[in-house]
A and B are shown apart, each in its own frame.
Chain A
C-alpha cells in the first residue's frame, strides 16, 4: 500500500530516530511512503490564536494530498489529530468548506476533504495488523519489558477514532508491542496526559503532569517507555532530567519510539534505527537484544 508521509515540523528536525525507524520498518512491511515536498505545518500551533487559521493551514496540506490522490500517514499525534479533524469538518460542514476554500483560492488550491488521515500506528494496525507483524518478526524481543504511552491525541476526541481504539481501555499500541515478542507492562497512570501542551505556559505544572507516569513506569522495572509522538517525547525524554532534579527522584527511564523496537524485532540494528539519538540510552534493552 502507498501513502503520503506527513512529517510535520518537529519530527524531521528533532526526532530523526523516529523518522528513520518509521521509514525503515514501513518499507520492510511493504508500505510505500511518498514524500511531498510542499507539505508544511499542520496548523496546530495556531489553534489557540485563531481556529480558522488552523483550519486553512491544515486544509492546505489536505488539498495538496488530494491532488496526489493518496491518503496521509502522520508520525505526530497532534498533526494526525489536527489534519483528521479538519478533514472531518470539511467533509461534514459545507459552510466551513466554503469558507476555507475562499481562503485557499489565492494560493490556487481547493479542498474537498477526500483524503484519509491516519497516524503511523493506525496505518500499521489496519494495513499490517498484529498477526502481520508477528509473522514478520525475525528476532522476537524476549525478556524485554515495555510500557506503552498512547498520548491524548492518539485516542481522543474519540469520535475521530471510531473503529480504531478506545479512549478508556486502549489496546492497539499494547498489542503491537506484544507482537514484537516483548512483554507489555501495565501501570496506573497509563492514560495520563504528558502535559506538553502547557510547557510553554507553566513548566512547573507541565512537569508535575509528566512526573507521575515516569515514576509509575520506573517502578515497574520496564526497559523503556514506548511513544508514538514527538510532543510526548519533549516531556518524557526532554524534561526527565529536570523532573528528576525537582522531585528528588531517581529517574532514568529510557524513552523509545515504537518503530525503533519494531525494527529491532525485524532484525534491524540499533544503529540503523537511530538509537544513538535517544538521549536516555536504553542500554539494558539493547544489550539483551544485540548482546
Chain B
C-alpha cells in the first residue's frame, strides 16, 4: 500500500463527484467488488479497478484520481453497473470523474480535437465533395453539414460550464 498523505485529501471530492449527473448513487457503495470482477479492463491493466477508484473518491484522493491517466481507460461497457447490488451506476460515475478531470484541464488531446470538430462541423467527420460523390455512387443522398447551431450550443472552451 502506498501511504496516503492526509494533508492532500479533499473531503469535498466525493460530494463533487456525486453532484455530477450520473454520480448520484456513489456513496451507497459497500465495496463488494462485483464491479471489479465484471470489468473487462481490470485484468488487462491492474491499475484500473472500479472498486478501488470508488474507495479513492470516498477517501477524498482527488489529485490521485483526477490526475491519473488510467481513468480514461473505461470502455463504457456498462458491465459494472449491471452487476452492482447497490445500484451504483459506475459507468456514469466514471463519466462524472472524467468531467471533473476535464474541468481541471487534464484532457487527452484526442478528445479536445473531437470537440473542436463538433463545434465547427456538427459532426465528427468533415463532409466534403469527395464523401458525397462516393455516396452518390451507392445511390445515397448527400450529407449536408449544419454547423450553424453548434457554436451557440457548445460554448467556447465550455469544458466545465
Q: Do A and B come from one complex?
A: yes
Residues of A within 8 A of B (CB): 7, 9-10, 12-14, 16, 19-20, 23, 35, 37-38, 40-41, 45-53, 55-57, 60, 96, 103-104, 106-107, 152-153, 156-158, 167, 192-193, 195-198, 200-202, 205-206, 208-209, 274
Of B1-9, B53-61, B107-115, which stretch is located at the interface? B107-115
Known contacts: A96-B21, A197-B77, A274-B138. The answer to whether A48 contacts B127 by CB under 8 A is no
CB-based contact A198/B159 at 8 Å: no
CB-based contact B99/A158 at 8 Å: no
CB-based contact B20/A201 at 8 Å: no
B28 at the interface (CB under 8 A from A): no
Q: How far is the CA of A196 from the CA of B73 in the complex (A)?
A: 11
CB-based contact A12/B110 at 8 Å: no
Known contacts: A51-B20, A57-B118. The answer to whether A37 contacts B82 by CB under 8 A is no
Nearest B-chain residue to A7, judged by Cβ: B143
Across-interface contacts of A209 in B (CB, < 8 A):
40-41, 44, 75
B98 at the interface (CB under 8 A from A): yes
Q: How far is the CA of A196 from the CA of B76 in the complex (A)?
A: 10
Can you report 23 A-B residue pairs in the complex whose CB atoms are below 8 A from each other?
A10-B124, A10-B125, A37-B146, A38-B146, A40-B145, A41-B123, A41-B124, A45-B115, A48-B99, A49-B102, A49-B159, A50-B158, A53-B161, A56-B153, A60-B149, A104-B153, A106-B153, A152-B78, A156-B77, A197-B75, A197-B77, A202-B73, A209-B44
Q: What's the nearest-Cβ distance from chain B to residue A127, in Å?
A: 23
Across-interface contacts of A57 in B (CB, < 8 A):
118, 153-154
Across-interface contacts of B69 in A (CB, < 8 A):
201
Q: How far is the CA of A211 from the CA of B77 in the complex (A)?
A: 17
Across-interface contacts of A35 in B (CB, < 8 A):
141
Contact of A201 among B40, B72, B122, B141 (CB under 8 A): B72
B16 at the interface (CB under 8 A from A): no
Task: For chain B, residues 105 to 154, give those with C-beta under 8 angstroms from any C-beta of chain A.
Answer: 107-108, 110-112, 114-115, 118, 122-125, 127, 131, 134-135, 138-141, 143-146, 149-150, 152-154
Known contacts: A48-B102, A50-B161, A197-B76. The answer to whether A13 contacts B131 by CB under 8 A is yes
CB-based contact B118/A41 at 8 Å: yes
CB-based contact B114/A45 at 8 Å: yes
Known contacts: A49-B115, A51-B20. The answer to whether A40 contacts B159 by CB under 8 A is no
Nearest B-chain residue to A43, judged by Cβ: B118
CB-based contact A167/B77 at 8 Å: no
CB-based contact A47/B95 at 8 Å: yes
Contact of B111 among A48, A195, A274 (CB under 8 A): A48
Contact of A200 among B45, B81, B110, B152 (CB under 8 A): B110
- New contact pairs (13) apart from A45-B114, A156-B82, CB-CB < 8 Å: A13-B131, A16-B134, A37-B144, A46-B118, A48-B72, A50-B158, A106-B153, A157-B78, A193-B40, A198-B75, A201-B72, A205-B73, A209-B41
